[in-house]
Amino acid sequence: MSFAITNKLFPANHKTVFVLDHTPYFGISCENPIEFEFLKSRTPGFIPMNPISKSLWTSSVESAIEYCRIVWDLFPQGKLVRFIASDTVAHILNTWSSTQQNLTHIMNGMSLIGVPPPPHPPPSIRSVNTPLDYTVLHGLRAAIEALSEATDLQQEKMKISPDGQKILNRCRVICITSARDNDSMKRLEDIFLTVLKQQNKVAASSERLVTVDHCHLVIINTFPINIESEVNNHPQKTLSPILTTEVHSIKAPLIPNKLSSLILEHYDLASTTVTGIPMKEEQNASSSANYDVEIFHASSAHTAILKGNASDSAAIRTIKDGLEYETTTLKWCTPRGVSGSELHNCTCMHRITPVDVNSRPSLCLINFLLNGRSVMLEMPRKAGGKITSHLLAAHGGEIFIHTLCTARSVLEDPPSISEGCGGRVTDYRIPDFGVLINQNTLYPIKVKSTDEGPQPIQKMKSRLNRLTRYWPLTISSTLIFNLKNYFDPLPALITKDIITDEEVFQCKRVIYNLIALESKMEPLHPLNTGQRMKGQKREEQYKAMWNELETLVKNNLHTDNHKSIYTCLLECHKFNFDEDKIAEKVELDEALNQLDNIGPGKLEDLPRASVIRATTDSPMSPPPLTTIAPPLSRTATNRSGGIYNTHRTLLEIFTAAQDKGKSRPEFAGRQGDSLVAKLYPNLKTEDRGPREGMEVE
């Protein structure tokens, strides 16, 4: 039986025992003062009250009680917790009976045992002379005995289970104590393991006791804030097949934070922060402010949104301030007359409980829901917009979180194939995908199972991996698969596991034909005339084609024949992979170098043709013949700069950019040095003659 199935059938959180250290050491202060004076105005002669500080015992009890409150709010049945206080003896506060699984019974038991007994010598820290009778071992021994007792649920399972099927007894012990150092903590773990083995021997020979199959011991070592502990933390480690231990050494005021993190792990819970809750201020009823309320619930309530878009789920998950766990932030959606009795398309429903049950925002939210109202929770999307993902509503006096169905409902029409998770994608390669399915259809066959060679299923997996190593999903993301009239049969042959010499020749002939087409700069027309290569020049089209072809061939280097095709591609076409990345940087560096050469005393060093062109040529002048490279020459073609790319000065680059922005000839008056043009120069001539194209009577 796998661990996941065992954990679900026989969870360790079915039986939990809290062992609280009730020795005199826990009667000392946490040294964390709390101001008890709340009056702002003080009259003359007013004597302020001294701040108070909780003891280690008070911090331990409050944290353990809050742990139980959350458990019993979320799991009214099936999750049992027992309390044992240990000083000179073990004080058992409750049993596994369901009638004693409530906070009232626990608090009454706490009031009966009272605060820890005072020590005889008043120590500030644990004294070496502390009597040996005061020890937490009494409580741990009583906890192991309590774990051997069968609960009502376990007894029912043993009655209905068939003969031979064992009921696993998995449980957990949480001990809040204080140790001197790591050696003391190690001895405590060893003693617990020894007593556990002895108890299992006793339970094996008894009819009313059950053996402990596995116990998870969580030790919380606590101390005042003004003391540095010598006990180090250690994660879960297996001391024995029946015992796993972990140690957390924390200061007393931080025990609630640690237990809040542990309870999420122990009971598979998750945290949700409802943000943006509008509430009226107590001081000013006419104004309102937004508050946040954190709630705990089963982690499966977030399964749907966490399996969705990774960027959206990462945006709403944050680490809780001062704590160790993540919380999912969902926004309050203003209810518009929605009641909890209305039906919604939900996938799951779980109980909730507020983390800070005594805060005013939590009380207002709980009362709002218990009055019959419901609240929708929204999840913002990183790409914009939002989606309603959850619903808070009360049923029968209990509040639940409902996970709403964010996908298409089964009651609606089936979705179009053009609608995907990323939106309306209309250019999927549907015909090519159909061909891929037909080429890889599986048929049942009868074969003898032999250990020699790979199995048919393994052969098929390797074939699918080979055929889909480079397979673009959409038409817009590929070029060579849209130009099958130029590339066939290369894409089909290159994905084969073995190719012959004749097929190698066919692939190389495709590469040679593409080289010839590029030398003539002929445009590449797709086979489907309905597709347009918009926004691409011929040079850019060829560049994208060569890069994609190199990617396809490089991902299919299965044999030496495949490698020969890749070598032929590299020899016939020069791939400047580094220049593609630094093309802009090279052009900028070249322009800056030319700019450094232009200056007093350096103008004479420039080529004469460049000087003449920079000083006398007009914008309409044709380029010098010496600077035009042959368009069909392979040596003059540059991958980063184009087929007409040559070394140009900064002034030439600036002039060329100015020429591209001009749509009409320059005004004649701005072409000369004087910047003065004479209008109508032939206006005052006597013999102007008739205009051309006009008849004279």
What is the pLDDT at residue 668? Answer: 65
Domain 3-35+51-266 CATH assignment equals 3.40.50: yes
96-112 pLDDT per residue, tens: 999 999 999 999 999 99
Q: Which residues pair with 404 in a beta bridge?
A: 346
For β-strands 214-223 and 243-251, DSSP reports them as: parallel
Name the least confident of 58-72, 359-373, 564-578: 564-578
Helix (H) or strand (E) holding 588: helix 577-597
Structural tokens at position 623: 């380029």
Length of the chain: 697
The domain spans of the chain are 3-35+51-266, 269-404, 452-575, 585-670
Q: Per-residue pLDDT tens for 418-469?
A: 555 545 556 778 888 888 888 888 877 766 666 666 677 788 888 888 888 8
**Residue closest to 528 by CA, chosen among 490, 492, 485, 489:** 485
The label of the residue with tokens 């008043």 reads 122
Is residue 201 scored above 80 in pLDDT? Answer: yes
- Mean pLDDT over 471-493 rounds to 82
d(C-alpha 264, C-alpha 35), whole Å: 31
d(Cα 570, Cα 288) in Å, to the nearest integer? Answer: 70
Q: What class does CATH assign to 269-404? A: mainly beta
Backbone angles phi, psi at 551, to 5 degrees: -65, -40
565, 501 contact by CB (below 8 A): no
pTM reported for the whole predicted model: 0.60
CA atoms lying within 13 Å on the CB side of residue 357: 9
Contact at 8 Å (CB) between 113 and 85? yes
pLDDT of residue 599: 47
pLDDT at 603: 38
Which tens digits make up the pLDDT trace of 583-602? 444 454 555 565 555 544 44
| CA gap 256, 647 in Å, rounded | 71
pLDDT for 7? 65
Q: Same fold for the domain at 3-35+51-266 and the one at 269-404?
A: no
Segment 648-660, tens digit of pLDDT:
777 777 777 776 6
Q: Is there a contact between 12 and 80 (Cβ–Cβ < 8 Å)?
A: no
**pLDDT grade for 537, boundaries at 50, 70 and 90:** confident
Whether residue 530 is predicted with pLDDT greater than 90 in this model: the reply is no
Mean pLDDT check: name the lowest of 296-310, 357-371, 416-430. 416-430
pLDDT at 310: 72
